[in-house]
């Protein structure tokens, strides 16, 4: 018998991914490819399978922990025939998450059941800022209750209590510096001698502190009044790690935000209201801070309604993908000046050709959708109009020499955006195959982070549903996005009579800081010409 550590395999660039399910416990007998845990990011979910079979001796992760490539999931005792695991193929991951939670240092028991609770292993970080203290002498705490929050320039983390008991004294305060081994408090443990500290919750993902010039990497320049962050003021503000991350992404100085939560704690809606107030030249009122909608120039509070008074209701939580992508969509809508241009493309000949080719490819099982043609045409249009294949970086425009087209895929958990890489270099058959494969992975929650990275332009197609136009939200740091609705037969004047033509509605949203209306019209008309006569795609 041999003992083997089964670890998280290669999951691309994703770090600190959330553990949302654990399927095994010590003593379980597992087979090769049995699911051990499920990881979830803001873009996808994935199950990590066992690389060999055996008996589970120890489970190193629990729901709520964070994991990255190489994090030990379980320790198993493999059978005689089992071999050490080969590097695992990357399961279908999700979005990036925070680093594995550092384990809290064991809390040595002193006489009379008193524990000295100290800062656990926090990697190489030294003299980390203490930004929150949640307890005081006399408080009763349970095991895993948060004691303090530490913050560096890259991440925040809460340190949990290693045992239940009563706080005797607190040795640290907000504004202090702490390192591994720094005494936090003494605790009179409840009952018998305490167990070793459980792993601390993973540091909340905190975006790298943006330069004062606001989110250049995301091409979402924050207003000057928002972008200048006073780090001393920021560190003293009363907000959770997730709120701090949100504020960092927007370049908001939390020290200037009025909190509407308990004891003045700043919540996400307060940050949103503050950004809106700066953009409209207003000052966020207490009512606005309490609201969170950011709707309207007067920043009225979000209405609180007891819906059950009017009839039966059901409360259903948003999926994690929708919650996290919602924050990104809100940021993009607020920070990017959107304008939408609409045009119809005559795809009568394109559709005839598509049906002909689909019959020829039918035996191979490959489906050729109109989206494959639109992706190919978009790549060619981007070559003719390079400013649409760019990103805003402060006062500079980054013009990309590659053409990676993202497409919005509808899944049970929300929208994700897989990417067709180098679409300009691929034929329709290869694009159609990648569309089919990526769409299937998206529906099954098995997309890798690398499958959703690097897009230079995005297409959101509602062609299979309906509609005649809409305003898609730009996917920062891109500067434009194309919306496509269901094609319809319409009468079109050919110079002598009206003839029935199949018309495809196109809706181009563009960043008006980079692209003006005339350029958007020329781009969309050019794209429509390419779709009307697909022979132009080979010129």
Q: Token pair of 476, please?
A: 């920062």
Of the candidates 254, 276, 395, the one whose C-alpha atom is nearest the C-alpha of residue 331 is: 276
Of the candidates 71, 79, 86, the one whose C-alpha atom is nearest the C-alpha of residue 36 is: 71
Backbone φ and ψ of 264, nearest 5°: 75, 15
Residue 82: count of CB within 10 angstroms of its CB: 17
Please identify which of the residues 238, 330, 338, 512 carries the catalytic annotation: 512
Residue whose structure tokens are 């495809």: 504
Q: Looking at residue 61, what DSSP letter applies? A: -
Contact at 8 Å (CB) between 168 and 216? no
Q: With the C-alpha atoms ordered 25, 26, 31, 35, is the resulting torsion angle positive or negative?
A: positive
In three-state secondary structure terms, 200 is coil
Q: Is 330 a catalytic residue?
A: no
Residue 443: count of CB within 10 angstroms of its CB: 15
DSSP 300-367: PPPP---GGGTS-----PPPHHHHHHHHHHHHHHHHS-EEEEEEEEE-HHHHHHHHHHHHHHGGGT--
In three-state secondary structure terms, 491 is strand
Query: Strands, E, within 8-103: which ranges?
Result: 17-22, 29-30, 35-40, 45-49, 54-59, 66-67, 72-78
Query: 405 pairs with which residues across the strands?
Result: 420, 457
CA–CA distance, 38 with 47 (Å, rounded to integer): 4
Contact at 8 Å (CB) between 461 and 408? yes
Q: Give the residue numbers marked as catalytic.
A: 512
């Amino acid at each position: 018998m041999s003992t083997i550590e089964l670890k998280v395999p290669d999951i691309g660039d994703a770090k600190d991914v959330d553990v949302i399910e654990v399927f095994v416990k010590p003593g379980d007998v597992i087979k090769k490819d049995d699911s051990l845990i499920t990881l979830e990011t803001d873009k996808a979910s994935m199950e990590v399978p066992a690389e060999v079979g055996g008996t589970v001796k120890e489970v190193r992760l629990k729901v709520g922990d964070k994991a990255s490539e190489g994090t030990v999931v379980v320790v198993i005792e493999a059978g005689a025939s089992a071999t050490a695991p080969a590097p695992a193929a990357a399961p279908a991951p999700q979005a990036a998450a925070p680093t594995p939670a550092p384990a809290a240092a064991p809390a040595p028991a002193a006489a009379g059941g008193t524990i000295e609770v100290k800062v656990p292993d926090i990697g190489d970080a030294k003299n980390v800022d203490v930004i929150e203290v949640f307890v005081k002498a006399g408080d009763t705490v349970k095991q895993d209750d948060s004691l303090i929050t530490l913050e560096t320039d890259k991440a925040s983390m809460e340190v949990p209590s290693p045992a239940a008991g009563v706080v005797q004294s607190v040795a640290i305060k907000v504004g202090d510096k702490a390192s591994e081994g720094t005494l936090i408090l003494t605790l009179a443990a409840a009952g018998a001698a305490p167990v070793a500290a459980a792993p601390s919750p993973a540091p909340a993902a905190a975006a790298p502190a943006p330069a004062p010039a606001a989110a250049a990497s995301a091409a979402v320049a924050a207003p000057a009044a928002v972008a200048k962050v006073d780090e001393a003021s920021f560190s003293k503000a009363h907000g959770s790690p997730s709120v701090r991350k949100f504020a960092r992404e927007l370049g908001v100085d939390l020290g200037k935000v009025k909190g509407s939560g308990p004891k003045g704690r700043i919540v996400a809606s307060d940050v949103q209201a503050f950004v809106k107030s700066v953009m409209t030249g207003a000052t966020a009122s207490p009512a606005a801070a309490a609201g969170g909608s950011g709707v309207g120039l007067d920043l009225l509070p979000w209405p609180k309604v007891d819906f059950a008074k009017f009839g039966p209701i059901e409360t259903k939580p948003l999926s994690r993908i929708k919650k996290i992508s919602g924050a990104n969509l809100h940021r993009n809508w607020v920070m990017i000046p959107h304008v939408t241009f609409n045009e119809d493309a005559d795809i009568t000949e394109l559709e005839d050709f598509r049906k002909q080719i689909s019959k020829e490819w039918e035996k191979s099982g490959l489906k050729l959708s109109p989206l494959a043609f639109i992706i190919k045409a978009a790549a060619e249009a981007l070559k003719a109009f390079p400013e649409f294949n760019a990103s805003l970086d402060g006062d500079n425009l980054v013009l990309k020499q590659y053409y990676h087209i993202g497409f919005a895929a509808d899944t049970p958990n929300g929208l994700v955006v897989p990417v067709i890489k180098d679409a300009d270099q691929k034929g329709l058959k290869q694009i159609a195959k990648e569309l089919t494969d990526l769409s299937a992975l998206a529906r099954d929650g098995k997309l890798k982070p690398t499958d959703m990275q690097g897009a230079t332009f995005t297409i959101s197609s509602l062609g299979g549903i309906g509609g005649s136009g809409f305003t898609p939200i730009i996917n920062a740091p891109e500067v434009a996005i194309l919306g496509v609705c269901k094609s319809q037969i319409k009468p079109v004047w050919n110079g002598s009579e009206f003839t029935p033509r199949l018309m495809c509605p196109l809706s181009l949203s563009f960043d008006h800081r980079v692209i003006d209306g005339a350029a958007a019209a020329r781009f969309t008309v050019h794209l429509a010409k390419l779709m009307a006569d697909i022979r132009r795609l080979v010129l």
